[in-house]
Amino acid sequence: MKPTIAVPDALQTFFREYPRLALAFSGGVDSGYLLYAAIACGCDVRAYYARSAFQPAFERADARRLAQTLGADMVEVPLDVLAVEAVRANPQNRCYYCKQAIFTALLDAARGDGYTAVMDGTNASDDAGDRPGMRALKELNVLSPLRLCGVTKAQVRAYSREAGLFTWDKPAYACLATRIPAGTAITQEVLSRVEGAETALFDLGYTDFRVRLFNGVARLQLPADQLARAVEGREAIRKALMPWFETVLLDLKER
């Protein structure tokens, strides 16, 4: 049956060609829409969420909420990503090794459930030249239907809004490991500090920001329209982040 809303013809054709798929699911805008589209097209789809130290609690909660809203099966795959030396050492191409580890675990779980093909939410706006992890996806034969069908990030948001998905305007979110400068080893302790600081900043009403590690202190990156408020509320920010960082810097270049 042809879906009535929010699924372009190219994606409908894709799901006719791949009627049974596993989805690498993060709870974000792209994979959330892809789960919706697959279900709308009658695809036998199951969502697999990689539960690791790199994903904050709110992402897991969003993934569970969206899967439940769509009536989809969601399997949580635990992964000790810090056990991978090439990931923990945090080289410039860490994302490559991280994607290898995560998607290998997801592929193994999916195949164990009888799903031989796995897709992810990479879209047509994602720049392959700026994403070392894409090489790992290609090597593992992971399908990226949004990219293959020419669906851009802006279109994903528009289709998601039309479909009534709460993720339609969710800010883009990169994993916690991206807060640590390349060459600085990643530990559970520093990831927990960053997540705690970002949760505190979010509770103060700030959005679409990053708390980055900088020589052991916190460097805040905020959208331009929130910089003035942060300067005015610097004391509240300092107190809120004190449990995790004694020193907090504000990066005056907008995020």
Task: Give the pTM.
Answer: 0.91
Does the residue 172 lie in any domain? no
Range of the domain at 34: 9-163
> Does 97 lie in the same domain as 154?
yes
Does the residue 37 lie in any domain? yes
Contact criterion met (CB below 8 Å) for 52 and 76 = no
Amino acid, single-letter form, for residue 158 = A
> Does 209 lie in the same domain as 102?
no
Helix (H) or strand (E) holding 85: helix 85-88
Q: Give the pLDDT confidence of 175-222 residue by residue, as tens digits.
A: 999 999 999 999 999 999 999 999 999 999 999 999 999 999 999 999
Does the residue 60 lie in any domain? yes
> Does 132 lie in the same domain as 195?
no
Q: Has residue 132 got a pLDDT over 90?
A: no
Does the residue 140 lie in any domain? yes
Does the residue 171 lie in any domain? no
> Does 129 lie in the same domain as 227?
no
> Does 152 lie in the same domain as 68?
yes
Contacts of 108 (CB under 8 A, 6+ apart): none
**Helix, strand and coil percent figures for the chain, each rounded to 5:** 50, 15, 40
| Structure tokens given for 119 | 């897709």
> Does 211 lie in the same domain as 87?
no
Does the residue 168 lie in any domain? no
Q: Which of 42, 28, 43 is nearest to 123 (CA)?
A: 28
